[in-house]
Chain A
């Protein structure tokens, strides 16, 4: 199908870092089943470095590809750097997404931030809400009755 780029299809067909980290240091879940996409991100942190990242996604091809790409982009990076990951960067690295699928990359950005914030909260590490811009708006309220 030509709806998606080769890169999206590659990450969709061969998703990187799929699965669960049972003893995760942080877990972020965004989206909702009613809207048709949920992303769950698990992180393992050592010395402020994301030593492991895994994801589970319920959603369309671009949602799975976006999660896969996001995990690849943040794995091995310092936490602060992971928080700088934008949906734009995910989309660009995937060689683009159709306009009506851009929200999938937004979801990936949100999932990463949600997982990191969860890590901070679990460990009572003080943080600035401004470092989690994607979590300002609640994705999971969109499309309650459609538009």
Chain B
């Protein structure tokens, strides 16, 4: 059996999006900046897409900027808010320890430039505490950046409450909603954010395209100079086929959201219940306040990369936060932030479901994952020590 369970990494393109991509590439090849009718037809389609995406987010069309994806959108939002902050003499930025690297690395860069960057901890549930955030905010704060949902453990942050705290203090609020859009309800008015980043390939659209919502009036400076496209905020000819496919995929994801959420929540809970029967393992992140398709576990006594390779042999595509899969010596910063010690964090497994996954596939994973874990534990000196009492179980 072949099971694709790495939908948080990327998704298969929806058939409707793929067809829309081909159709736009074939028929709307004109440059939206050109004056002739080919160009103007392309321009109309571009603006239709912008309007559709804006409507789906509860935003105005002119608040939507098309980008190359979530990372660019995160970078531009944070750097723009920081730039204005610096002009006003406000140089504090508050974020969390579990953000995506697109946010964390941008913040590191700002820190090197003199910004005071505060990364709030999260609880063992993988959720930031509002009281911690409230305490961190002061008159010097120019930006709060908190992700909507975490990419590794799927935990959903209290973005609406955060938005309220920021609005009361007139502090700009950016949320990386790359994992949330198309997977849970996302509305910029409800959140009360000033910036929101999204990426098409996380909800069945193509790779290399995304969008940044910027509330009217919030600062926005270009990262890429060289043209008047996107109202001067991003130079470069727009990738219209990709943008059209993103709009189609997003529309379908949002329209089918209630049924997808219901199905995935059921499949997720079944998978969690099945894997929890493995001794000495633990679910990462809050059980309920998590994305409908996210399952993340740590298994004691084994290492994640070998687990992924063996699962791949069984036809299961999964992911892990072990050091060996990241190319560094340290396991995932998210797992460390929720209090998993190194020894245990190395043995993590992330299975992320999408609308294409079936119950048969869940049953297959419930059957195969414990076998592979057992096989690896059998050759693990750590597991032997645990079983012989020479080492204390952590999970």
Give the interface of A toward B (CB within 8 A). 1, 9, 12-13, 15, 18-20, 29, 33-40, 56-61, 63-64, 100-101, 142-143, 146-147
| Majority-rule SS of B interface residues | helix
What chain B residues lie within 8 Å of A13 (beta carbons)?
310, 313
- List, sorted by A's number, 13 A–B pairs whose CB atoms are closer than 8 Å: A33-B342, A35-B329, A38-B380, A56-B384, A57-B381, A58-B302, A58-B380, A58-B382, A59-B306, A59-B324, A61-B309, A64-B306, A146-B330
Contact check, A142 vs B329: say whether CB atoms are below 8 A apart. Answer: yes
Q: Are B303 and A100 in contact (CB under 8 A)?
A: no
Most buried by B among A12, A15, A64: A64
- Mostly helix, strand, loop or mixed at chain A's interface? mixed
Please state if B343 and A34 are interface contacts (CB–CB under 8 Å): yes
Residues of B327-346 whose CB lies within 8 A of A: 327-331, 341-343, 346
Report the Cα distance A56→B383, complex, angstroms. 10
- Give the top 7 A-B pairs by smallest Cβ distance, nearest first: A143-B329, A60-B324, A60-B305, A33-B343, A40-B381, A36-B346, A146-B330
Contacts of B379 in A (CB 8 A): 15, 18-19, 56-57, 64
How long is the Cα–Cα vector from A52 to B196 in the complex, in angstroms?
Answer: 61
Docked Cα-Cα span, A59 to B377, in Å, equals 11
A147 to B303, alpha carbons, bound, how many Å?
A: 20
Within 8 A of A (CB), among B112-131: none
A32, chain B: closest CB distance, angstroms? 8
- Find chain A residues with CB under 8 A from B380 CB: 38, 56-58
Provide the residues of chain A in CB contact with B341, threshold 8 Å. 34
Q: Which residues of B contact A56 (CB under 8 A)?
A: 379-381, 384
Chain A residues with CB under 8 Å of B303's CB are: 36-37, 58-60, 63
Contact A60 B322 (CB under 8 A): yes
Contacts of A39 in B (CB 8 A): 381
Knowing A33-B342, A33-B346, A146-B329, say if A61 contacts B305 (CB, 8 Å).
yes
Residues of chain B contacted by A40 (CB below 8 angstroms): 381
The smallest beta-carbon distance between B187 and chain A, in angstroms, is: 39
Q: In the complex, are the beta carbons of B329 and A147 less than 8 A apart?
A: yes
Please give me the residue from chain B that is nearest to A99 by CB atom: B327
Q: How far is the CB of B348 from chain A (nearest CB, A)?
A: 11
- The complex places the Cα of A33 from the Cα of B343 at a distance, in Å, of 5
User: In the complex, what distance in Å separates the CA atom of A36 from the CA atom of B340?
Assistant: 13
- CB pair A61–B381 under 8 Å, yes or no, is no
Render B331-366 as a binary contact track against A, CB cut-off 8 A, 1 for contact: 100000000011100100000000000000000000
In the complex, chain B residues whose CB is within 8 Å of the CB of A100: 327
Q: Compute how far the CA of A142 lies from the CA of B327 in the bound complex, rounded to whole angstroms.
A: 15
